Amino acid sequence: MNGHNGHNGHNGHHNGKHGLHEDIGDHHIATSVETPLRPDAFEVDDETKIAQIAEHFREIMDILGLDLEDDSLSGTPQRVAKMYVKEIFSGLNPANKPEVRMFENKYQYQEMLVERDITFYSNCEHHFVPIWGKAHVAYMSNGQVVGLSKLNRIVQYYARRPQVQERMTRQIAEELKQALGTEDVAVVIDAHHMCVHSRGVMDSGSSTVTAEYSGKFREPETRAEFLKYIEMR
């Protein structure tokens, strides 16, 4: 009888933990600022990862009852695996981090520089379905400037991984501060989540806005100027 009760207690703990995980996923809550990665995440080369993912995805399709002998489906496991590693989750690999080269601000531009409407595509880490939208970033030079395309590439690097929008916003801001050598950075992200649009509440009209301000952008006047610029159409 005691052993039976102990078994129930174990199940209760397991079910409680499972329920916690469900709550975190359903409410789209991040558990850390850094993307959760194992220390050995990149000990396996990309081609090996592609082969292993393809094998497992084929098994998933088979469990779903799909006919993998059909010409339309037979190549899907390999295509999905390659897409995961080389494209939509390529931002997991530090080797793909964009190199940011700084240039002297010879023309002495002292005002904020705003790069708005950067289109990005990401994926929700809770359901592995798309997140897409616009990122708006700004900085104020500390004596150096960066090529505009690098701002875009930083956004894309952090978007191309399983993400939570709040985390992505902070990661982009922290990377910009480090790369640009200034605290005067702002990031606003306006995004749509397929895990909200196509499942759960199935609300197709909403979007989610997150922001991170640091340095001079914490001052109401500077922040208001930035927000005015990104609202211009």
3-state DSSP call for residue 153?
A: helix
Residue of 124, 156, 163, 171 with catalytic role: 124
Residue of 171, 175, 195, 212 with catalytic role: 195
Active site residue 163: no
Residue of 136, 163, 175, 193 with catalytic role: 193
Active site residue 193: yes
Query: Length of the chain, please?
Result: 233
> Could you give the maximum distance between any two Cα atoms of the chain, in Å?
82
Residue of 28, 115, 125, 171 with catalytic role: 125
Q: Do residues 48 and 81 touch, judged by C-beta distance below 8 A?
A: no
Active site residue 195: yes
What letter represents residue 59's amino acid? E
Residue of 28, 127, 171, 175 with catalytic role: 127
The burial of 69, by beta-carbon neighbours within 10 Å (0-12 exposed, 13-18 middle, 19 or more buried), is given as: exposed
Place of tokens 């605290």: 183
Taking residue 70's Cβ as centre, other Cβ atoms within 10 Å add up to: 9
Residue of 28, 126, 171, 175 with catalytic role: 126
Active site residue 34: no
Active site residue 59: no
Residue of 28, 165, 175, 212 with catalytic role: 165
Active site residue 126: yes
Active site residue 28: no
From residue 1, alpha-carbon distances to 10, 13, 48, 231 in Å are 14, 19, 50, 67
Question: Which residues form the catalytic set?
Answer: 124-127, 165, 193, 195
